[in-house]
Amino acid sequence: MCGIAGEVRHDGRLPDVAAVGRMVGSPSMATRGPDGAGVWSAGPVALGHRRLAIIDLSGRGHQPMVDAELGLAVVFNGCIYNHRELRRELEAAGHRFVSTSDTEVLLKGWREWGEGLVDRLAGMFAFALAERDTGRLVLARDRLGIKPLYLADVDGALRFGSTVPAVVAGGEVDTTIDPEALHHYLTFHAVVPAPRTLLSGVTKLPPATILVVEPDGRRREREYWNPWLAGPPASAPSGEDPVSWREAVEAALRTAVRRRLVADVPVGVLLSGGLDSSLIVALLAEEGQDALATFSIGFDSAGGEAGDEFQWSDQVAQRYATDHHQLRIPTDRVLDAL
């Protein structure tokens, strides 16, 4: 999962490293990254990171990751599924790597392609990249906004983080409720459209967006992808034949599942017993995943309603011989959490 945080100043002062440290150390960030933490600062920028090690489990994958030769530093949350292919392309262009992490691909890729890097990334990501020579900070999110990135303007600086509580932990944030965001939250099943959040002093970077922050505080925001403007992919059938569409959807699902096998740790599935997760387990099994770990969560029955779907998830687990785990959450734990 990982978590990122940071600050970029535009008033000539040094960044508040202590505030970034509070963000990195906040409980909502600590649970995102149990495998390491770090803070780095240079010029007007401070970056912080909590690590959940997925690719390159060694210390070479530690973040914030700094490339002194290129004059770049980055913190990154997510996974770049095609990082190996991009690495080969960058090595052919003369770049040298010291790790096998997808994080380092972002550093070399930014130097090689600039903002065109995001067009080449297949994955889910939120990253902050600092340029030493220009003092510029770049923030970016993946196409669908799978990975979060929250922003807050404080006196003379812009702060950012992977969670709202982390941003608040940095201090100086207006925590009054945004009534329009609350309306969205109650209307759209707990969804608040970007750029708003429930807090007046915190916004979120929209999906498929790059935000470039100059040293003087000027900002340039660009949407680099839009599903309505991009048009159908080349693999989409041109007609309405249902067989062709079924085959195209199956091929896309297989590609998506195959990409998510890119990890240096075991891959597991949250198996609800529904159609989506059952399909994913089936496709993983066909990809040759033996002893695949699956997890199903259930609750106590209440008011005549079943609290779990174990009867369905058990059937899928048995069919594909997964290493299955049933997790039942008692009512008192649910009420305490709420």
Residue 272: what residue type?
A: S
79 in active site: no
For residues 189 and 202, what is the distance between their CA atoms, to the nearest angstrom? 20
Going by their DSSP bridges, the two strands 209-213 and 219-223 should be labelled as: antiparallel
Task: Give the Cβ contact number of residue 96 at 10 Å.
Answer: 8
Task: Give the Cβ contact number of residue 137 at 10 Å.
Answer: 27
Sole residue written with tokens 């889910």:
124
List C-alpha distances in Å: 29 to 129, 204, 320.
19, 17, 35
List C-alpha distances in Å: 292 to 251, 280, 283, 318.
21, 11, 11, 11
List strands edge to edge, sheet with 203-204: 37-42, 45-50, 3-9, 157-161, 150-154, 203-204
Which residue is catalytic, options 2, 54, 149, 151?
2
| Neighbouring residues of 298: CB distance < 8 A, sequence distance ≥ 6 | 307, 308, 309, 310, 326, 327, 328, 329
For residues 147 and 77, what is the distance between their CA atoms, to the nearest angstrom? 7
For residues 295 and 269, what is the distance between their CA atoms, to the nearest angstrom? 6
Catalytic residues: 2
